[in-house]
Amino acid sequence: MQTNDSFRIRIIDGKKKIFDPIRKAYVAFTPEEMVRQAYLKYLINELHIPEIAISVEKKVVYNSLTKRYDIVVAKPDGSVLLAVECKAESIEINENTLHQLAMYNRELQAKYLVLYNGKEQVVLKQNKLDYLRIEELPSYKEMIASV
């Protein structure tokens, strides 16, 4: 996954900020936010997911705790197609982070799940009772056609 697009970065009130095209605002520049913005560019530019279908930092309640998904993509009918959890590059993708993603998804019921840390990407696709690991995400149209 590569994107050659540059990011819109500014210093606002003495703080480094990066422009989020979905939220239409400059947000705090953090290692995790940089990973999230890179993945958003990939979804929009490479997989042709319309911006209108994407939500960023969507709230989900799990076991009476409010959590936030980094990126959620909806199908045209509004149901959740894809949920993406981004981690800073320094955070290792392991069984614990995958388990966290699966637990959160009990509420969202996304057909595809992604865990991405800027270096490594784990992609899962729903299969009857479980999720199968796949090599990469298909395009938006292919994802919709497959569910």
What are the b/e assignments for 84-120, b being 16+ CB within 10 Å? bbbbeeebebeeebbeebeebbebbebbbbbbbbbee
Cβ 25 vs Cβ 19: under 8 Å = yes
Which domains are seen in the chain, by residue range? 30-146 (3.90.1570.30)
The whole-chain average pLDDT of the chain stands at 90
User: Residue 8 and residue 31: Cα distance in Å, rounded?
Assistant: 15
Tens of pLDDT, residues 35-94 = 999 999 999 999 999 999 999 987 777 677 787 889 999 999 999 999 999 999 999 999
Q: What is the pLDDT of residue 71?
A: 95
The torsion angles phi and psi of 117, rounded to 5 degrees, stand at -120, 20
User: Residue 31 and residue 44: Cα distance in Å, rounded?
Assistant: 20
Q: What is the pLDDT of residue 11?
A: 95
User: Residue 52 and residue 2: Cα distance in Å, rounded?
Assistant: 22
Q: How many residues does the chain have?
A: 147
- Would you call 34 exposed, middle or buried from its count of C-beta atoms within 10 A (0-12, 13-18, 19+)? middle
Those residues whose C-beta lies under 8 Å from the C-beta of residue 56, and which sit 6 or more positions away, are: 20, 22, 23, 36, 40, 70, 71, 72
